[in-house]
Amino acid sequence: MTQPGIPNDLVLSTACYGPRLGRIEDQAFSAVAMGFRRLELGISDSPSELSGWLDAHRETGITAESVVVGALYPKKDAVSGSYLGSQDEELRDRALNLTRRHICIAQQLGAPIVVVRGCAVEDEALAQEARELSARLEKAQLDDLDAVQIEIRNLVGRVQELGQKQIETFCRSLHGLRRAYPELKLALEPGFTFNDLLNFEAMRWVLDDLDRSDVGYWHDTGSLHSREMAGLPGQAPWLDAFASKLRGVHLTDATVKEQGLPPGMGEVDFKLVASYLPEAAVRVIEADSVHGRAEILACVNYLMGSGY
């Protein structure tokens, strides 16, 4: 017998479905059966087919809350915001056009928020170094963890120094998007890798620069847990610094070795995160699509018992 869902105020990312359900209409009906009333169009290896959304909305009352830039295409290593800061004009124009397309889709779905995730530095040597350090961190024992963390902090510092012009261009791109779409709620989310420009200090600078354009912050519990394990600022410093600009949060669990877990299956302190969230912040469950209905329902129970 299928376990019934629990009515809740959480948002379910379509990234949780992957290839299991390809059409957003089917995803919407499935989400409603699990107790959800809101969806996010998230990034997946198998992007959602969007036909049938209006019928699903009409029949169930489900609404779209947010769209992550990149959701219209299969998931790639390059994070969605990377080329908005590119020093290559052609790449930057492509990224702007891609972002505009996602904004238009958000408008069609009625989703008020568009999330831009990450901005990796344009340097392949640093990207390779970041990958190698991530692999070393996963295997690190207590006696060599400090040394790996020192190397990661060193890399993050070099990324920030090298990427200053890219960050400035990134900000100009976002100012332009806000002028073109003044009704849009835009939010920035740090990327998952150590070569991402949106580290703690850079995010503070970017949000200050974009303050007049009312660009907000989007928190990701999984990636921030990984940063904390790497000796970088973790959940509490980010939430403390940016809570006033917080638009929403991706609720995903993680360990040192594994990302994309449903909340309750990893090491993230979700009660701590909940204590920082303003009432209006959108709370989105995002997990790898290998986790099925039973695990999603279990994480809803877990989150509701953790202050969500």
Both tokens of residue 239?
Answer: 């939430």
Under 8 Å between Cβ of 57 and 63:
yes
C-alpha–C-alpha distance, residues 199 and 115, integer Å: 17
Q: What is the pTM of this model?
A: 0.94
Question: How high is the pLDDT of residue 1?
Answer: 37
**Structural domain tally of the chain?**
1
Those residues with Cβ within 8 angstroms of residue 221's Cβ, 6 or more apart along the chain or in another chain: 235, 249, 250, 251, 252, 253, 254, 263, 268, 270, 273
Residues 134-175: pLDDT tens digits?
999 999 888 899 999 999 999 999 999 999 999 999 999 999
Residue 190 falls within a domain, yes or no?
Answer: yes
Question: How high is the pLDDT of residue 53?
Answer: 96
Under 8 Å between Cβ of 243 and 275:
no
Could you give phi then psi for residue 199, rounded to 5 degrees?
Answer: -80, -175
Instruction: Return the CATH number at 160.
Output: 3.20.20.150
Question: How high is the pLDDT of residue 199?
Answer: 93
Look up the domain containing 171 and give its range: 11-304
Question: How high is the pLDDT of residue 128?
Answer: 96
Could you give phi then psi for residue 60, rounded to 5 degrees?
Answer: -115, -20
Amino acid at 255: T
As a whole number, the mean pLDDT across the chain is 93
Amino acid at 272: L
DSSP for the chain?
-PPPP---S-EEEGGGTTTS--BHHHHHHHHHHTT--EEEE---SSPPB-TTHHHHHHHH--EEEEEETTTTS---SS-TTGGGG-SSHHHHHHHHHHHHHHHHHHHHHT--EEEEE--B-S-HHHHHHHHHHHHHHHH--HHHHHHHHHHHHHHHHHHHHHTHHHHHHHHHHHHHHHHH-TT-EEEEE--SSTTBS--HHHHHHHHHHTGGGT-EEEEEHHHHHHHHHTTS--HHHHHHHHGGGEEEEEE-B--SS---BPTTSSS--HHHHHHH--TT-EEEE---TTS-HHHHHHHHHHHHTTT-
- Residue 52, Cβ density class (10 Å: 0-12 exposed, 13-18 middle, ≥19 buried): middle
C-alpha–C-alpha distance, residues 262 and 12, integer Å: 11
Under 8 Å between Cβ of 285 and 10:
yes
For the chain, residues with pLDDT lower than 70 are: 1-4, 77-81
Question: How high is the pLDDT of residue 118?
Answer: 86
Residues 30-57: pLDDT tens digits?
999 999 999 999 999 899 999 999 999 9
Question: How high is the pLDDT of residue 137?
Answer: 93
C-alpha–C-alpha distance, residues 9 and 281, integer Å: 11
Residue 137 falls within a domain, yes or no?
Answer: yes
Residue 1 falls within a domain, yes or no?
Answer: no
